[in-house]
Amino acid sequence: MLCMMNIKKGEQDSMKTHEVIRWLSKLPPDKHIIINWWDYDDLIASGGSEELTPDEWKHLVNRINGKADWSYIFDAAIEESYNMVAQRQDLFKDKSG
């Protein structure tokens, strides 16, 4: 799961589900926040590469963490999914020529 939290500048952008739960449980119940999250299936359904493996998804989350403005992070994830698949395909191409 890719969870984006924009509460104040400098906060962590992406975190694992258990970290989100722990972090949210410390907030006052009347605190207003914005949370967006996507999982692997959401990325694929929204236009990400259908060839992206679940393992590549984990690497994608780590790769884009902190590299894109939080409001554009999902678009960056979709683009990165295609980049990762292209890199994998290039790696396994028959280079015997």
Strand-pairing partners, residue 35, are: 5
In Å, what is the CA distance from 12 to each residue of 18, 67, 70?
A: 14, 12, 10
Looking at per-residue pLDDT, the higher value among 91 and 16 belongs to: 91
Question: Cβ of 48: how many Cβ atoms within 10 Å?
Answer: 24
Q: Where are the domains of the chain?
A: 2-91
The residues, ordered by sequence, that sit 6+ positions from 8 with a Cβ below 8 Å of its Cβ are: none
pLDDT, residue 72, reads 74
pLDDT digits (tens, 9 = 90+) for 2-12: 455 444 434 55
pTM of the model: 0.54
Instruction: Reply yes or no on whether the pLDDT at 58 is more than 70.
Output: yes
Q: How confident is the model at residue 13 (pLDDT cuts 50, 70, 90)?
A: low
